[in-house]
Amino acid sequence: MPNRVTRRARALMLASLACATAPCVTGVAAAADDARFIDIGRQLAQVQAQLQRLAQENRSLREHQQQIERQLAQLTGAAAALPAPADSSALPAPSTPATLSASPLAPGLRLWGYGEMYYTDPTRDGNKAQADLARAVFGLGYSFDERTEFNSEYEVEHAVASASDAGEFEVEQFYVDRRLNEAVSARGGLFLMPFGLLNEYHEPTRFYGVQRNFVETLIIPSTWREGASTCTATPARDLAGTSG
């Protein structure tokens, strides 16, 4: 009988201890959950702050890019839009060096040029060594609008032009291009004839050797220019025809 009472008392004590311990465990678990929620909220706040900083940097970069594009548009005379018109290939390519530069003096104004200088030093007669500025070419162009442009070239040969010298000054080209539609354009004025390999594109970087070859200087008198008018059709990207 006493053993039963003792066991019953122990069971009651264990039950009491379990009941007393349960709220403590629940409180510890709740505190841990609160700490995790606080940490997650802190991390979310940090992420939001980083996103705001990135958005501000993105806006600053976009504004800087737009400012550069506006400055480039002013320099090239394309204030309306920077991309070139899709049909700009319909105009015949001017026979000038590829390095064209926009002038800040006036929108649409273009200046370019090139030159050729030779130095000869014969191995058997050093007294005949000489340097010659064979030609200096200056180009002037102007774009009136997206469809109309003017191009011209002026050349000085052998650094001097007078009645008693071998040099000369000449207006090599002076013409206007007009794009009639996306595939047809017209040209009128003084310009190079489309004959031979070098007549239209005769800059020093376009041929091998120091001077132009015999065929392109004597048989085909490069540079050969005439006053004329032509019409150029470009029905396909790699196909074009000129008549005039």
Report the pLDDT value the prediction gives residue 150, as an integer from 0 to 100: 94
Render each residue's pLDDT in the chain as its tens digit; 244 residues. 555 545 666 655 655 555 555 555 455 566 677 788 888 888 888 888 888 888 888 888 888 888 888 888 878 764 444 444 444 444 555 454 544 555 556 788 999 888 888 888 888 887 888 888 888 889 999 999 889 999 999 988 887 776 677 778 888 899 999 999 888 899 999 988 887 777 777 777 777 777 777 777 777 777 788 888 988 888 777 777 778 7
Task: Note the pLDDT of residue 9.
Answer: 61
| Nearest alpha carbon to residue 193 among 164, 230, 140 | 230
pLDDT recorded at residue 29:
63
What's the one-letter identity of residue 40? I
Count of CB atoms situated within 10 Å of the CB of 71: 10
Count of CB atoms within 10 A of residue 113's CB? 16
Q: Is the dihedral of CA 202, 206, 212, 213 positive or negative?
A: negative
pLDDT recorded at residue 82:
42
Q: What is the pTM of this model?
A: 0.52
Map out the domains of the chain as residue ranges.
1-83, 88-243
Query: What pLDDT is recorded for position 99?
Result: 47
Q: Which amino acid is at 202?
A: H
Residue 126 burial (CB count, 10 A) = 8
For residues 112 and 94, is the Cβ–Cβ distance under 8 A?
no
